[in-house]
Amino acid sequence: MAGAGANDLKVLGVWTSPFVIRVRIALNMKGLAYEYVEEDLGNKSALLLGSNPVHKSVPVLLHAGRAINESQIILQYIDEVWAGIGPAVLPSDPYERAVARFWAAYIDDKVRSAWLGMLFRCKNEEERAEAVARAGEALDTLEGAFRDCSEGGKKPFFGGDGIGFVDVVLGGYLGWFGAVGKIIGRRLIDPARTPLLAAWEDRFRAADVAKGVVPDDVDKVLAFLQTLLAISK
């Protein structure tokens, strides 16, 4: 498929990781065949430790045996190496590309910190509520960003008519957003508060490139959360 086979491309990951999910979606967008290797974070493989000796974390993309690390860097690598194959992940216009990179960085700054607070760092319900509030503020800002990027909500995605860089970066968190929603008793991307983002979430989850990659079994994600919490103790 698309000039690359599973022998050429391998992804080391964890199925719930937002950062792994976005890499897999980008590969799906390009129609690239790849081997997916699930890592055990409590017993990391020698391949992972050798491929990412600095952070020892997932995702790692192995392309013909060479390792590329850090999810946003991997996304840009995929887009550059397979330019012209499948849809572009990043816009071709330099200004639009810069805007996309800005919002992707914002997501990994504000949304990531709130996600970690909601699920892994909160010591009590008060701290979780504070993290949920921070997430809500970040999503309010992203509602405005989506309005700007989608011509006032006329386009279905941040990338316009098709999924793009910002969609992939934010979409990686949706499995965990579903888990948080069950914990707090409502959707984190609230249709009443951020209707454009709520409609975007539904479209993104339904996209072929996201099916089977973005987790939709909330109970399974919450069970995996307990495993991660046990590892972190």
Number of Cβ within 10 Å of residue 10's Cβ equals 20
SS3 91: coil
**Per-residue model confidence (pLDDT) at position 3:** 52
pTM over 0.75: yes
pLDDT digits (tens, 9 = 90+) for 33-49: 999 999 999 999 999 99
With a cut of 90, say whether residue 138 has pLDDT above it. yes
**Per-residue model confidence (pLDDT) at position 1:** 45
Q: What residues contact residue 120 under an 8 Å CB cut-off, 6+ apart? A: 228, 229, 232
The domains of the chain, with CATH numbers, are: 9-81 (3.40.30.10), 94-232 (1.20.1050.10)
- From residue 203, give the alpha-carbon distance in Å to each of 31, 33, 122: 20, 24, 31
| For range 84-92, the mean pLDDT | 96
Q: Which of 93, 95, 99 is nearest to 166 (CA)?
A: 99
> What confidence tier does 5 reach under pLDDT thresholds 50, 70, 90?
low
Q: Which of 52, 16, 35, 63 is nearest to 177 (CA)?
A: 16
**Per-residue model confidence (pLDDT) at position 2:** 52
Quick one: what percent of the chain has pLDDT higher than 70? 97
What are the residue ranges of helices labelled H in the chain? Answer: 18-30, 46-51, 71-81, 94-106, 112-116, 125-149, 165-171, 174-184, 195-206, 218-232
> What are the backbone dihedrals phi and psi of residue 36, each rounded to the nearest 5 degrees, phi first?
-105, 130
User: Based on C-alpha coordinates, what's the Rg of the chain?
Assistant: 17
> What confidence tier does 231 reach under pLDDT thresholds 50, 70, 90?
confident
**Per-residue model confidence (pLDDT) at position 232:** 78
